[in-house]
Structure 1
Amino acid sequence: MTFAAFVLALVTMQRLGELVLARHNTKRLRAMGAIEVGADHYPLMISMHAAWLVSLWLLGADQEVDPWLLSGFVALQGLRWWVLSTLGPRWTTRIIILPGAPLVTDGPYRYISHPNYLVVAGEIALLPLALHLPLIALLFSALNAAVLAIRIRAESEALSGVSSQTA
């Protein structure tokens, strides 16, 4: 197994684990009366992320790994875990609104409205660059920006309703 394949295996396991956690949290939140908004774009987002990972496996598993760019990707994992730990059981890959629950305003949310999307944008660019795949980085960064434009608009509209209810 190449080092690149090892890195991709770790990233794949991380993403699958996050999907399991997200599904668990989503079920629990729905049982508490939470509602999902913006579900129409969810399959597009999941497809884009899956295609990104598949393209990395197909084109990058045998590549040399740039240690500096990989270090940047690893550093982003610390920010990812900060987001996950701040949201705790409210973290999910869907836009789930729990009526009556206040917005999260601590952790990285003190500084930026959508920190996880910033992390994901960095990851989508850095990992392909670490595998010497600049066109994959460019293509999926553009696709991610398009998906995030839809998602952030839906999430911001949903969350603005929450903040006006709790004010």
Structure 2
Amino acid sequence: MIAKRNERWMKNKGGVEKEGGHYKLFVLVHVLFFLSIFIEAYVRGVHHLELNHVLLLIFILTQMIRVWCIQSLGRFWNTKIIVNPKFSPVAKGPYKYVKHPNYVVVGIELFVIPLLFGAIYTAILFPFLHILLLAIRIPAEERALAQMEKRG
């Protein structure tokens, strides 16, 4: 909901979506991720798993970083590549230290969440798929920002 609201705001301010062709792959991978956890836990018979407090702590800390990312980006946070030369790229919060901190958060989640449910194969496969998608996404974002800076 937040991402969709921010997307509308950006487009109403003159923002333009760039290189969105790969977006459906992100959606597909995330849907398959949750299905994979469920299926793997079911097939492997993982019904009574003891809570791993270290993994839970990592998950909670990761969510705190996600909130920091979203708060730092404010209205610019969304799930698509939307640029507007009227606005400068955000360089505060975690973005002051890491160029794409939210992608690090997602990578950690794709590893930790399956392990919390005993889905070891999912924990191996989906971070790898995430890296493959980022090999498309990050260059697309960089191109969009570079084009924006040339026009701005």
Q: Which runs of 5+ in 1 are unaligned?
A: 1-19
Which residue of 2 is the match for residue 119 of structure 1? Answer: 105
Q: Which moved more, 1:114-123 or 1:127-136?
A: 127-136
Which residue of 2 is the match for residue 28 of structure 1? Answer: 9
Matched, 1:42 2:23: yes
- Identity percentage over the alignment? 33
Which residue of 2 is the match for residue 161 of structure 1? Answer: 147
Which residue of 2 is the match for residue 7 of structure 1? Answer: none
Q: Which runs of 5+ in 2 are unaligned?
A: none
Deviations 1:87-116 (A, max 9, x none): 111100001112220110111011011010
Q: d(CA) in 2 for partners of 1:25 and 1:35? A: 13
Which residue of 1 is the match for residue 81 of structure 2? Answer: 95
Give TM-score, length-normalised by structure 2. Answer: 0.89
Q: Answer yes or no: is the 8 Å Cα contact 1:103–1:162 preserved in 2.
A: no
1:159 partner SS: helix
Q: Structure 1: which 4+ aligned runs deviate by more than 6 Å?
A: none
Q: Which amino acid aligns with 1:27?
A: R
CA drift of 1:31 comes to 1.1
Q: d(CA) in 2 for partners of 1:153 and 1:63? A: 42
Q: Answer yes or no: is the 8 Å Cα contact 2:85–2:148 preserved in 1.
A: yes
1:112 partner SS: coil
Q: Which amino acid aligns with 2:130?
A: N
Q: d(CA) in 2 for partners of 1:50 and 1:63? A: 24
Q: d(CA) in 2 for partners of 1:86 and 1:58? A: 36
Q: d(CA) in 1 for partners of 2:65 and 2:86? A: 27
2:17 partner SS: strand
| 1:11-90 map, 5 Å | 20-60=1-41, 62=47, 64=49, 65-90=51-76
